[in-house]
Amino acid sequence: MAVSSLTTPAAATTTVPALAIRHLTVRYRQTEALSDVSVDIQAGEQIAIVGPNGAGKSTLLKAIAGLQPITSGEIRFFGAEQAEPNTIAYVPQRLQVDWRFPVSVSDVVLMGRVGRIGLLRRPSRHDRLLAQRALERVGLAAFANRQIGQLSGGQQQRVFLARALAQEARLLLMDEPLVGLDIPSQDEIFRALAALRAEGVTILTALHDLQQAARYFDRVMLLNRRLIAYAPAREAFTAANLVATYGGHLHLLSSGDGLLTVADTCCNPTPDGAV
């Protein structure tokens, strides 16, 4: 149906969020991992999800990826009930991947094309070119023929970012991609993420480091089973929000740029909310 731009209704010009999450609750047998979470995530934004262990970060990413059944509520993808095929790339925590799997780096990236080319068809030159370009963009062109298990942890993470690029994913979900990596490897990941940002990919990353969340991400989601805050770091990292997120395991410091820093241990627990 052709719609003249002159008659486009006002509603159509407002942007549809990449993700619209409404009253999302996820319950495991004993535990309510997520409780009534509602949030709109705009397309092209990079979001850090922060919160203590057990806050429901992994559960949220899996629920969005369709790997975890939801108990109630809904998740809409660009306005639709179901994400279009191949539009979501999910990178699990490193420990959940069997790195002995005998495939080459370029094979892993080409797998990102499978959904587009079909399982039984051979990758075309175009597919191979896209895979090669994706590896170049994450700085791994020289590693194309290595076995995935021979790469360092940071390089392996970047292979998955290359796969998301080759897949032409619109939404990238990463679960604690920086755990166990040294600082140079972490920097390489942020450089690789910039390639996805340039493509307009919406990125949700579970993360531990609040400074990195503030520095590299457009917004942070403070999560502790329920949504405490969703805003740019400067607005989200208030004392009250951090106490609500981290509870007694909290030690607040004002740093030079006005941000608050949180340590995991607390010498002198304060009563609820008082800092």
Q: Which is nearer to Mg ion, 58 or 202 (CB)?
A: 58
Q: Which is nearer to Mg ion, 166 or 178 (CB)?
A: 178
Residue 224 sits in the site that holds ligand ADP (CB under 6 A): no
Segment contacting ligand ADP (CB under 6 A): 54-62, 190-198, 231-239, 267-275?
Answer: 54-62
Token readout for 171 is 């939404």
Token readout for 238 is 């208030």
Helical (H) or strand (E) element with 245: helix 239-246
CA 54 – CA 58 distance, rounded (Å): 9
R_g over Cα of the chain:
20
Helix axis angle, 153-167 relative to 105-117, nearest 10°? 20
Closest listed residue to residue 103, CA positions, set 58, 149, 67: 149
Token readout for 191 is 């450089």
Alpha helices in 24-104 (DSSP H): 57-65
3 state DSSP class of 172 = strand
Residue 51 sits in the site that holds ligand ADP (CB under 6 A): yes
Q: In the complex, what is the shortest distance from the CB of residue 11 to ligand ADP, in angstroms, rounded to a whole number?
A: 35
Residue 53 sits in the site that holds ligand ADP (CB under 6 A): yes
Residue 224 sits in the site that holds Mg ion (CB under 5 A): no
Q: Which is nearer to Mg ion, 161 or 206 (CB)?
A: 206
Q: Could you say which DSSP state residue 134 is in?
A: H
Options 24, 33, 203, 236; binder of ligand ADP; rule CB under 6 A: 33
Options 8, 12, 23, 54; binder of ligand ADP; rule CB under 6 A: 54
Q: Could you say which DSSP state residue 82 is in?
A: S
Options 24, 46, 56, 88; binder of ligand ADP; rule CB under 6 A: 56
Options 58, 87, 156, 202; binder of Mg ion; rule CB under 5 A: 58
Q: In the complex, what is the shortest distance from the CB of residue 35 to ligand ADP, in angstroms, rounded to a whole number?
A: 11
Count of alpha carbons within 13 angstroms of residue 15, beta-carbon side:
9
Token readout for 228 is 């405490």
- How many of the chain's residues bind ligand ADP (CB under 6 A)? 11
Binding-site partner at residue 228 among ligand ADP, Mg ion, none, CB < 5 to 8 Å by type: none
Binding-site partner at residue 233 among Mg ion, ligand ADP, none, CB < 5 to 8 Å by type: none
Q: Which is nearer to ligand ADP, 33 or 192 (CB)?
A: 33
Q: Which is nearer to ligand ADP, 51 or 123 (CB)?
A: 51
**Strands 219-224, 202-206: pairing kind:** unpaired
Options 55, 83, 171, 210; binder of ligand ADP; rule CB under 6 A: 55
Closest listed residue to residue 198, CA positions, set 44, 33, 3: 44
111 contacts 118 by C-beta, under 8 angstroms: no
Binding-site partner at residue 59 among ligand ADP, Mg ion, none, CB < 5 to 8 Å by type: ligand ADP
Q: Which residues bind ligand ADP (CB under 6 A)?
A: 28, 31, 33, 51, 53-59
